[in-house]
Each structure stands twice: as C-alpha cells, then as structure tokens.
Amino acid sequence: MTSESKHLSERINRPADEVYAYASDPANLPEWAPGLGSSVEQVDGRWFVDTPTGRVGVAFAPRNEYGVLDHDVTLPSGEIIYNPVRVITYGSGCEVVFTLRRLRGMSDEDFERDADAVAADLTRLKRVLENASHSG
C-alpha cells in the first residue's frame, strides 16, 4: 500500500531562510536527524549516510527560494525513497512539514515507528535551531 501519507510538522521560532539553509546542508544531518544516520560523508559530489541498515545516498532538491527540501534516499538495495519536505514561513518563524509515505508492504507498526522517528527528528531540528548558542 503506497497511497497512505502522513504529514508531520514542527513550528520553529527562526526565520524560514535560516532553517532552510541549515536543514538543506547534508553535513548537518547527524546533528538533527540521527534517525537517518550517525555520520555523513561527501564523495565525488554525492552525500552518503551510514545507517544501521547500511550506507545510504541522500540527494536534496537543488537550492531554491521556495523552501523545498525534498530529498531522495537511496537504500543499500538500490531502492529510492522520495521524501517531500517544505519549510514554510509562519509569522516571524516557520513550519517544517515532512510528508511520510507508507511503503509497499509496510506494517502499521513500522509506519508508526517511522512517523515517530520523523517527529523526533523535527523536534530535534527545532531544538538545535532555537538554541541560543547555535550560530546558523
């Protein structure tokens, strides 16, 4: 079943362009999205993250003025998972919206586990960016 989606969001009290700049840099992933992986490396212009299931590729949409942070995650199997993400201005801050798609054959428990992991990563992103010691 690939038609089910869940939209997870977090409001962040920082300007949208600052949040976008930070979150769109794959080098920052281990700090705010350890659910994806613990270390990141750029090789020949491509980004790779070490995960518990192996090394995965991560490719973000080209930088843009619309807050589009869509990215593909290429699994060790070669399967590509497309992840739609937006950073949307919300007053003086922003809202980050991640669309989680249920993968074919995914159990209810696995889908909820993924949703919980994404929500935790978005909360961590908020904490990192709202922390007064973060220099952007």
The tens digit of pLDDT for each residue in 4-18 reads 999 999 999 999 999
Tokens of 35: 């659910």
The residues, any chain, with a CB within 8 Å of residue 59's CB and separated by 6 or more, are 46, 47, 71, 72, 74
38 residue type, one letter: S
How confident is residue 104, by pLDDT bands cut at 50, 70 and 90?
confident
CB 96 within 8 A of CB 86: yes
Q: What is the pLDDT of residue 1?
A: 40
Q: What is the pLDDT of residue 133?
A: 47
Residue 134 has pLDDT above 70, yes or no: no
Q: What is the pLDDT of residue 37?
A: 76
Per the model's pLDDT, the better-predicted residue between 95 and 104 turns out to be 95
Q: Residue by residue, what is the 3-state secondary structure of 14-52?
A: CCHHHHHHHHCCHHHHHHHCCCCCCEEEEECCEEEEEEC
Q: What is the pLDDT of residue 48?
A: 95
Give CA–CA dist 63/36, Å, rounded. Answer: 21
Tokens of 67: 């807050």
Give CA–CA dist 22/125, Å, rounded. Answer: 9
18 residue type, one letter: E
The tens digit of pLDDT for each residue in 24-70 reads 999 999 899 887 777 899 999 999 999 888 899 999 999 999 999 99
Residue 94 has pLDDT above 90, yes or no: yes
* Percentage above 70 pLDDT, the chain: 94
3-class state of residue 81 by DSSP: strand
The residues, any chain, with a CB within 8 Å of residue 20's CB and separated by 6 or more, are 67, 69, 87, 94
Average pLDDT over residues 88-101: 96
Domains of the chain (ranges; CATH) run 5-130 (3.30.530.20)
Q: What is the pLDDT of residue 132?
A: 54
3-class state of residue 123 by DSSP: helix
